[in-house]
Amino acid sequence: MTVSGSTSLPPTLGVEEEFLLVDAVSGMPAPKGDEVIRHAAKVFGVELGQELALAQLEIRTGVCQTLADAHAQLRDLRKVATAAARAVSCEALAAGVPVVGGPEIETSTDGRYGLLVDGYRQLAAEQSICGCHVHVAVPDPETAVRVCNHLRPWLPVLGLLTANSPIAAGRDTGYASWRTIVWSRWPSSGPPPYFESAAHHRETVAMLRESGAASDGRMVYWDVRPSAHLPTVEVRVADVAGTAAEAVLLAALVRGLVATALTELRRGRRAPRVPVEVLRAAGWRAARDGITGQALDVLTGRLVPARTLVDRLLERTKSALAQFGDLDTVTGLLADLDRTGTGAMRQRAAFARAGQLRDVIDQCAVDGAARPVQHT
């Protein structure tokens, strides 16, 4: 992948990716996150993140100004995660859910994670899903809330574009993103409400905390939210990307949407008030069919080809992408996706070849060492 340069300084961004750790022989989730994290720190001097599930880990880029920087950091961090996992006899997979085994896996009981297990019980015990989160800088909390309003209609499109979890517990679920369905059970997940102000947002978060639906601000798991600890808008709707390049595509589109929203706000334009129930229906449809089926146009309530909405997303962000020098990169990455298929399509193609889960696991290997599988 060639990432073009920037001609105008865009908002900074950062990417977080969660990976599943599996036994190198059986492919079953391997609760070795702590070992992998220690090895990465000792041998590579890289700090990987711990997750609730011991069979997971997280990588986080620093603050990135350009897509080229984000891509370089993601490639390097993925290499470290792969090498550290193999050093303790497991593999790191870029898959949204466990391909083999699960959904219940061993969880951490340390500190905040112990409180999550106590409070959320079986939900926490089955928290073995992997996503990709993109942060984009915004000036202040009020702006963050209003930007989120503008991003709400595009969340299902980002979801269908990044679907990467069709195979779960040894079988095809019939969904392109089974992670989305599993994740939807959490009481603070899914599309957020339309917020009138930052004060309205704070009141809603306070209600969620009072009810126990969220134990703290970080547990407000909406698909887009003002970050609880950073001056950013965070988009959380995506499965973990199959490749670093696909994570860059997501990051570019999210930043393009944020930049477009900032322009709309400067012009005094309010975001469309799409009801939460419409966004939920569109998100479900996107999770089921991915990019290959029909998708719900949230503004008309009608089904259209999913690719039509992807084209509209590109049109929506085109001006910002061109301003930042990212348009050629994004159009090239979309063309690559047309050629290779999404992560969900590639997993299914691997499984269809011989009905072997090992082929799916190889396809999802984080370092890309798997045999390339073309969709049909």
> pLDDT digits over 339-358, tens only?
999 999 999 999 999 889 99
Tell me the per-residue pLDDT of 239-294, one tens digit each, with 9 for 90 and over.
999 999 999 999 999 999 999 999 999 999 999 999 999 999 999 999 999 999 99
Share of the chain above pLDDT 90, in %: 82
User: Region 309-327: what's the mean pLDDT?
Assistant: 98
Q: Does a structural domain hold residue 59? A: yes
Give the pLDDT band (50/70/90) at residue 229.
Answer: confident
Sole residue written with tokens 């986080």:
60
Q: Rounded CA gap, 129 and 183, in Å?
A: 8
Q: Does the structure show a pLDDT above 80 at 92?
A: yes
Could you write out the three-class secondary structure of 245-306? HHHHHHHHHHHHHHHHHHHHHHCCCCCCCCCHHHHHHHHHHHHHHHHHCEEEECCCCEEEEH
DSSP annotation of 41 reads I
pLDDT of residue 113: 66
pLDDT of residue 296: 98
Q: Show the CA angle centred on residue 231, arms to residues 79 and 250, nearest 5°.
A: 45
pLDDT of residue 6: 47
pLDDT of residue 266: 96
Q: Rounded CA gap, 114 and 105, in Å?
A: 14
Between 298 and 214, the more confident residue is: 298
pLDDT of residue 244: 97
Give the N- to C-terminal CA distance of the chain in Å, as an integer: 23
H or E stretch including 21?
A: strand 13-23
Give the pLDDT band (50/70/90) at residue 9.
Answer: confident
pLDDT of residue 106: 72
pLDDT of residue 367: 65
C-alpha distances in Å from residue 208, one per residue of 174, 182, 201, 216, 235 = 32, 20, 11, 9, 19
Q: Does a structural domain hold residue 95? A: yes
CATH number, domain of 49, equals: 3.30.590.20
Indicate the average pLDDT of the chain: 92
Total domains in the fold of the chain = 1
Give the pLDDT band (50/70/90) at residue 23.
Answer: very high
Q: Does a structural domain hold residue 368? A: no
CA 72 to chain centre: 18
Give the pLDDT band (50/70/90) at residue 112.
Answer: low
Q: Does a structural domain hold residue 271? A: yes
Q: Does the structure show a pLDDT above 50 at 372?
A: no
Residues 6+ apart with CB under 8 A from 181: 173, 175, 284, 287
pLDDT of residue 126: 75
pLDDT of residue 114: 67
User: Region 141-149: what's the mean pLDDT?
Assistant: 97
Query: Could you tell me the pTM of the whole model?
Result: 0.94
pLDDT of residue 159: 98
Where is average pLDDT lowest: 123-127, 161-165, 372-376?
Answer: 372-376
Q: Does a structural domain hold residue 5? A: no
Q: Does the structure show a pLDDT above 90 at 375?
A: no
Domain of 74, in residue numbers: 13-363
Share of the chain above pLDDT 70, in %: 92
Q: Does a structural domain hold residue 293? A: yes
Q: Does a structural domain hold residue 375? A: no
Q: Does the structure show a pLDDT above 90 at 369?
A: no
Q: At what angle do helices 327-340 and 306-324 cross, to 10 degrees?
A: 150
Q: Does a structural domain hold residue 57? A: yes
Q: Does the structure show a pLDDT above 90 at 36?
A: yes
pLDDT of residue 346: 97
Q: Does the structure show a pLDDT above 70 at 115?
A: no
